[in-house]
Structure 1
């Protein structure tokens, strides 16, 4: 049962219900009859659902709790009736039967929205390994398209206006059609003009725009009332939201141009790229894919905001157009405004200063004029050269104008400040990788069977390889997912050492495009780089070997996206238990770790993120002297962005700790598509063969683990 006092859907309905006289919406209703009349859908529900709709309305009017069927009726029928979704059809025609929005069908409001529709397009991602498109964009100047920064980062790198570039093997385009009744008109994105360091905004150059697509004009003043808005974009199916509700609201049609009516509701502080910003808010029905939709003021036809996300049944957020009108760099980029934009200082200034300083430091050096092979340019004995050089620098955080103190350091493209190290291929020729004979009894490297065609193959010294060998461990990569199938490590507790953490590294033996460097990583709500082979595990042997093992563990090939709240105490304790006992008993162990790859893994920040993970520990039992192996698995599902979010903001905290499970190795083989040879024969749970995990034991404490 759902109590109306804390039901977010009812709270949302209270805010969007039609006004009841002078007093306002649902809150002002004093008689159940008035509530029933005001909340009843203008379009009758399907016959099978009408009884539950009537029952839901009666309970809301009487302030009684709703059951699950009534909650569905509220979210999928009653609320969408107040905030419908309107198809855009051939010739940019649109019409709605909803009584609340009949004024969108004709008159000045219709004409203003109709004029804006052609300028809105879908940002295409040809060749992207997991996404057909990234979101929406709209024309704001001569050959100039505005979209979100988090969309641009799916195919581009950099921050600010200099040194912006397409990611390796990535392209982008804009389709200004893609309607429910068909149509396509695609233009290529030729250049990334700006990735804003403060706002979730980017500007792209699109050549060849026809005269029939007029640029939209951004508002220079904040609206003084609560105007109707038309959010124009391409809502996509979102696996984080309720499937049945989405299908009911969007009629099972996604990825096409829609108009989403609503109200502009004011300003609210929210997290965006590691900082708090004052965003515009609106209450239209949106989903993932609607990011970068144009929030068009139906009262004057200007763009009131650039939509960048929202929290389901709470509010939606947009970059305020009138604040962009105060940023001189946005004005200079050629963005068109209604009226004259007014350059002013703002909290974005410090972020611009720092990004530009970092860009200059990363791309220019000063050398004497007499330096061999150069010619001086300019006065004096100094010249300036642009080189293919990347420099990592640390700077003091910028001071926010008018804020009286430092702002948090702005994250770079992709959400963090990581500039990975890349050593020469020759540095890896002495790496032997995982040793199958390490324990005395042979334990072979796992074999990928079910998805053997997806194993990444690379050329090294004239031979085709699949195993990336590092110091004391090896990794095998999944080519389409750009993550490892598994990481396998040998640990010698008798030779274990401590070593400080080093920087992240790229592996030069495989293409950079096959390694996830930044896209989904960064401060919450983005992901951590979760080690598969723990950093401490290969840190053993003489000083040189331990240092190599420590540095090698920091390769991005050895990581998988994991929520910062994912590692539960029992999962961490399990890893500590294995390593510390190896150290204390000076024993040897081998550990295999990897993700379960599923077709329905969610796509977040442009990366298909594994939900569940497995681990196998093999060792010689200190009592029996025989080989022993145990398997475990854990899910980060409870820690992933909640189904109530379209684009997640702020620090995400897991609502509940995950629970690790001891499971059979045969079960891990069945679910992962890997073969561990005869290792399952040495598993105390070897009699359990169910792929679905039958007989698994939830682990709340280490004493529950079965080793024999």
Structure 2
């Protein structure tokens, strides 16, 4: 099985997410040893509470109560499947470390892809301004918790009211005191162009929700007072004619002040390819992706929740307004910021992924003199 490569970095299985394992891991053998040790620990741990989340006692025969037995059985299957895939991946990484890449079989290939995503390009759960412990490969994130926390607070999902089929649409982030930056495709779901410019579609509303998950009663239904989304989007500043980019207006803050807007890079960083970056967003499952069913099962619990997704910038096409990166956006993460880990400035606006190529974003520094962004008073730094 050969690992593919492209002009902007190789990918696994045609996915736009992760590059070749030898590009992600400096020592594949050490990663294999860590994953194997963790699998052994999991096999020795209590099964029902840890895997299923149920804290109810098992019956006298050691089995779960009948009303939760089906859920436990599903969880058991998922655990066994995950262990099988990762065990195969460990074997594949060990072959890679030994210089035997040509001996990696199909199951090992899928397992290596899973480990690359879990260890090398993870989607780390977020809670408020904090995030779960990263894998050892990304231990550097621990030293940046305060700055990353400030970035997390300024990113939310776009929750809509009055849409015929959707409760939320993509990701957006604060790019000025009363300005939200997202993609044109996100804005087009609840806005439309007319003779005077862009405006909300009749009967539709939108808000920026920075929480980890949707409230119990998402729009357009009634929302309890304690669940009110704090940042109301009141209008459209403009939609860019060339780039996949839209600027939305927030209502003036009332009560508690909003988080500081993110700093938008006014110039390109040096040594862009290979530079460590991170994406913050709400990856969603996407049936159009070509990962095996096994991969979808492994990562299903990462969908539709706020995630910190570290990776690296892989290239830049100035004429095409394209910044490439390999963060594990998993599914539709459009509108998320691509942030420089070195100084926490936003380098790009994530717009999507292309199979066998990589993830693409709008390089925002290329628009530093753009009249639309000047009118919006974007927070250039």
TM range (shorter): 0.7 to 0.9
| 2:371 counterpart (309, 324, 328) | 328
> How large is the Cα RMSD of the aligned pairs?
2.9
Could you say what secondary structure the match of 1:172 adopts? strand
Could you say what secondary structure the match of 1:252 adopts? helix
Confirm or deny that 1:82 pairs with 2:132.
no
TM-aligned CA deviation for residue 71 of structure 1: 2.8
Match in the other structure for 1:705:
none
| 1:264 counterpart (297, 313, 332) | 313
Does the 8 A contact of 1:95 with 1:105 survive in 2? no
| 1:228 counterpart (244, 254, 276) | 276
Over 3 Å counting, the alpha-carbon distance change for 1:264 and 1:122 in structure 2 is same
Over 3 Å counting, the alpha-carbon distance change for 1:247 and 1:126 in structure 2 is farther
Confirm or deny that 1:195 pairs with 2:239.
yes
Counterpart CA distance in 2 for 1:38 and 1:252 is 23
Does the 8 A contact of 2:174 with 2:180 survive in 1? yes
Match in the other structure for 1:126:
161
Counterpart CA distance in 1 for 2:320 and 2:160 is 28
Confirm or deny that 1:64 pairs with 2:102.
yes
| 2:344 counterpart (301, 306, 313) | 301
TM-aligned CA deviation for residue 38 of structure 1: 5.5
TM-aligned CA deviation for residue 181 of structure 1: 11
Confirm or deny that 1:105 pairs with 2:154.
no
| 2:331 counterpart (288, 291, 306) | 288
Match in the other structure for 2:151:
116
TM-aligned CA deviation for residue 184 of structure 1: 6.6
**Where in structure 2 are the equivalents of 1:544-693 lying within 5 Å?**
none
Counterpart CA distance in 1 for 2:295 and 2:354 is 15
Does the 8 A contact of 2:155 with 2:210 survive in 1? yes
Does the 8 A contact of 1:157 with 1:166 survive in 2? yes
Over 3 Å counting, the alpha-carbon distance change for 1:41 and 1:266 in structure 2 is farther
Match in the other structure for 1:175:
209
TM-aligned CA deviation for residue 125 of structure 1: 2.0
Counterpart CA distance in 2 for 1:136 and 1:70 is 34
TM-aligned CA deviation for residue 15 of structure 1: 6.4
Counterpart CA distance in 2 for 1:175 and 1:117 is 12
Counterpart CA distance in 1 for 2:359 and 2:163 is 28
Over 3 Å counting, the alpha-carbon distance change for 1:18 and 1:74 in structure 2 is closer
Could you say what secondary structure the match of 2:321 adopts? strand
Confirm or deny that 1:217 pairs with 2:263.
yes
Q: Which shifted more, 61-70 or 300-309?
A: 61-70
Counterpart CA distance in 1 for 2:303 and 2:203 is 27
Over 3 Å counting, the alpha-carbon distance change for 1:184 and 1:84 in structure 2 is farther
CA shift digits 1:662-702 (9 cap, x unpaired): xxxxxxxxxxxxxxxxxxxxxxxxxxxxxxxxxxxxxxxxx
Does the 8 A contact of 1:112 with 1:298 survive in 2? no
Counterpart CA distance in 1 for 2:180 and 2:333 is 15
Query: Of Structure 1 and Structure 2, which has the larger fraction of its residues in helix?
Result: 2
Counterpart CA distance in 1 for 2:137 and 2:183 is 30
Aligned length: 312
Q: What is the TM-score when the length of structure 2 is the normalising length?
A: 0.73
Could you say what secondary structure the match of 1:9 adopts? coil
Does the 8 A contact of 2:87 with 2:111 survive in 1? no
Q: What is the TM-score when the length of structure 1 is the normalising length?
A: 0.41
Counterpart CA distance in 1 for 2:297 and 2:25 is 25
Over 3 Å counting, the alpha-carbon distance change for 1:212 and 1:154 in structure 2 is closer
Q: Which has the larger radius of gyration?
A: 1
Over 3 Å counting, the alpha-carbon distance change for 1:5 and 1:177 in structure 2 is closer
Does the 8 A contact of 2:348 with 2:361 survive in 1? yes
Could you say what secondary structure the match of 1:12 adopts? coil
| 1:53 counterpart (89, 110, 113) | 89
| 1:44 counterpart (35, 38, 52) | 38
Does the 8 A contact of 2:22 with 2:28 survive in 1? no
Counterpart CA distance in 2 for 1:314 and 1:128 is 33
Counterpart CA distance in 1 for 2:167 and 2:262 is 26
Over 3 Å counting, the alpha-carbon distance change for 1:145 and 1:35 in structure 2 is closer
TM-aligned CA deviation for residue 264 of structure 1: 1.9
Counterpart CA distance in 2 for 1:254 and 1:240 is 15
Match in the other structure for 2:294:
244
